[in-house]
Amino acid sequence: MVTETYPMLIADEEVASERLLLRNVEPGPCLDSLESVRFIVIHCSATRPDTDYTVERLLRDHRARGFRTIGYHFYIRRSGEVSQHRRLSEVGAHARPYNRCSIGVCYEGGLDLQGRPADTRTPLQREALRRLVARLRRLFPQARVVGHRDLPGTLPKACPCFDVACLL
C-alpha cells in the first residue's frame, strides 16, 4: 500500500491533513470518518458519444431530481477534464443506500450511438479516471473500487458499462 502523504491533491481539492479533510462542510452532511468510506463507486452518465453532456446539463438534471448540486464527487468529461462537485468529506448522492460510505466518480458516456450500454471511455478519460482512482485509493486505502452495478441491492444493470477491475 502506498504511504499517505499530506498535503495530497485530489482533483481540485488540496487535502492538507486528515483532520482538515473531516472538518465540517456546509451545507451538506459530512462523512463520519475517513474509515467510513468503504467504496469508491464508478458511474457513467448513460449518455451517447454524440451527446455533449456538459457539467451544466448534469447539474440541471441533478437539481431537477432534487439534489442541491451534482450528486457525484467527480465528473470526467470525454476530453478527460475532471471537475469536483462535492468535497471529499461530504456525503454524495449517487448510490443509495451507500452514499454515507462512498465516494462517487462519473464519466461522461456509457451508451453507444444506438443507446446500448458500452464502454465509451476515450483514452483521455481512461487516463484521468485511472489517475483519480489511484489518488483516492491512497487517501482511502480501505475502500473497494466498484462499479455502480457491483453494489448489492442497487438498481442499475449496466452502470458503469465496463469492468472496474481494469482500474486496479
Which of 88, 111, 159, 161 is in the footprint of Zn ion by CB under 5 A?
159
- The strand pairing partners of 106, in sequence order, are 43, 75
Binding mask 62-101 for Zn ion (x = CB under 5 A): ----------------------------------------
53 carries an active-site annotation: no
C-beta of 43 vs 137, nearer to Zn ion: 43
Total residues contacting Zn ion (rule CB under 5 A)?
Answer: 3
Cα gap 156→150, rounded to integer Å:
9
Handedness of CA 65, 70, 74, 77 (dihedral sign): positive
C-beta of 34 vs 70, nearer to Zn ion: 70
Rg (CA), the chain: 15
85 carries an active-site annotation: no
Contact 15, 6 (CB under 8 A): yes
Give the burial class of 163: count Cβ atoms within 10 A of its Cβ; 0-12 exposed, 13-18 middle, 19 or more buried: exposed
Q: Does 148 bind Zn ion (CB under 5 A)?
A: yes
- The strand pairing partners of 105, in sequence order, are 42, 74
Catalytic residue, from 53, 72, 75, 107: name it: 72
73 carries an active-site annotation: no
C-beta of 34 vs 159, nearer to Zn ion: 159
Contact 101, 36 (CB under 8 A): yes
Q: Which stretch binds Zn ion (CB under 5 A): 13-21, 43-51, 65-73, 125-133?
A: 43-51
Catalytic site positions: 43, 72, 148, 157, 159
Q: Which residues would be at the binding site for Zn ion (CB under 5 A)? A: 43, 148, 159
